[in-house]
Amino acid sequence: MAKRVTMVVICLILACMVVMAPCAEAITCGQVISSLAPCLGYLTKGGAVPPACCGSLKGLNNAAKSTADRQTACGCLKGTSNSGINLSYASSLPGKCGINIPYKISPNTDCSKVQ
């Protein structure tokens, strides 16, 4: 009997996971921008990258699990290039934080090709 109850519980959990998977939240530009908030000083003036900036950027990178999420993040970052941010600082930020992202932060990046 306990074995049957365990099997039913496992089946219910799996069914819930299948139903809920499509409802997972996607990355938004609001999340991208708020993740960059601790980086603003560096992105405009250079200097040392604050640890909070790298932590926030790592969190954003970890949250961008799907191709669609990475393309959205790319587009949001690309959109910030006209907002007074130094593009040289922006493109060097992932490397300074020890993060690998699958695209270059640049207004010339084709985000539709990001995987």
65-82 pLDDT per residue, tens: 999 999 999 998 888 766
Q: What is the 3-state secondary structure (H, E, C) of 10-23?
A: HHHHHHHHHHHHHH
Q: Taking 70 as the threshold, does the pLDDT of residue 56 lie above it?
A: yes
Which fold is adopted by the domain 28-113? Hydrophobic Seed Protein (1.10.110)
Q: What DSSP designation does 100 have?
A: -
Find out whether 57 and 99 touch, Cβ atoms under 8 Å.
Answer: yes
Residue boundaries of the structural domains of the chain: 28-113
Dig out the tokens for 26 from the structure: 């996607």
Q: Taking 50 as the threshold, does the pLDDT of residue 102 lie above it?
A: yes
Q: What angle do CA 78, 81, 87 make, to 5 degrees?
A: 105
In this predicted model, what pLDDT tens digit does every residue of 82-96 receive, in sequence order? Answer: 678 898 999 999 999
| Dist CA 47 CA 74 (whole Å) | 24
Q: pTM of the prediction?
A: 0.71
